[in-house]
Amino acid sequence: MNLSNKTESNWEEFYANQKPPADLENSKKLLQQFVQKNSKVVLVTSGGTTVPLEHNTVRYVDNFSAGTRGSVSAEYFLEHGYAVIFLFRVKSLEPFARHFIGQKFLDMLVLNEQNALKNNKLLQICFTTLSEYLWLLRAACEVLKPLNNQALLYLAAAVSDFYVPSNEMSVHKIQSTTVPNLSLHLVPKILKPLVSLWVPNAFVISFKLETDENLLISKARKALNNYKHSLVIANMLQNRKQQVVMVTANEDYKINLTQEQLNNGEEIEKYIVADVVNKHEQSIIKN
């Protein structure tokens, strides 16, 4: 596989060349209606994006994410009175439904009750590919922009850094007679236009996932310096359910669960979301 570094296509080029999802207009309508009904809204992105290698897709590159961070956080944001747009990867974990895996029929009553809550305060929109994700993310930003600092973006999805542009993709299944010469291009850094143009007054949080602890904080701080958004939540793949580091322009600090809390089924997202909500409130007061 060949990683093409000549092209970190700019974001305009990306959107000009990658087709929008078929139901984009319908998703936009749903987003608009939802935001009109709610004033304090958080966009939670969740799950990993795929990068198809063929138009008739048999093979794709995937980013790891079960959707735990996003789905659990969405439930806690609802508890804090936020309306939640949950932009998630098909078949990854979803708020509330995640509790019912394997026992769907026993708990129908509770599920119905939670569905009622969902109808007013939770909008779920799904994606599979990187391209679908980026189109839907921009559409969500368009409707959130007028909310200014009441809008919160919590970008926990694991988004690919590489892709095969549509015009370079094989139409049919790549044959195994030769070693394929795939040229992966760098995905444009979408946080840049998102923070500076699409939702310039919103409270934007990105996540940084690493597997090498020595890189974690420096990479998180680099992202913060580059994009000038509000907060980076840094986590290691290996212990992401037990520890995260909150990285702001002025400080970094850990949020931890003890082994006992973890054993008792506590979820670190409870504490992350409480901290984020506090920061968002402070920023609204300041502005």
Judged by CB under 6 A, the stretch of 22-30, 59-67, 136-144, 167-175 that binds ligand PAZ is 59-67
Neighbours of 98 (CB within 10 A): 16
Least separation, in Å, of the C-beta of 214 and ligand PAZ? 16
Please, what is the angle between helix 268-286 and helix 68-79, to 10°? Answer: 60
| Packing angle of the helix pair 24-37, 130-144 (nearest 10 deg) | 30
Provide the minimum distance between the beta carbon of 236 and ligand PAZ in the complex, in angstroms, as a whole number. 9
> What is the strand order of the sheet 2-8 is part of?
2-8, 183-186, 162-163
Q: What does the block give as tokens for 130?
A: 């990187």
Residue of 126, 139, 143, 158 that binds ligand PAZ (CB under 6 A): 158
**Given 15, 88, 133, 207, the residue binding ligand PAZ (CB under 6 A):** 207
Cα 183 from Cα 3, distance rounded (Å): 6
- Rounded CA-CA distance 139/150 in Å is 17
208 forms part of the interface with ligand PAZ (CB under 6 A): yes
What's the closest the beta carbon of residue 108 comes to ligand PAZ, in angstroms? 27
Q: Binding to ligand PAZ by residue 69, rule CB under 6 A?
A: yes
- The pattern of x and - marking residues 10 through 39 that bind ligand PAZ according to CB under 6 A reads ------------------------------
Binding residues for ligand PAZ (CB under 6 A):
65-69, 156, 158-159, 207-209, 235, 240
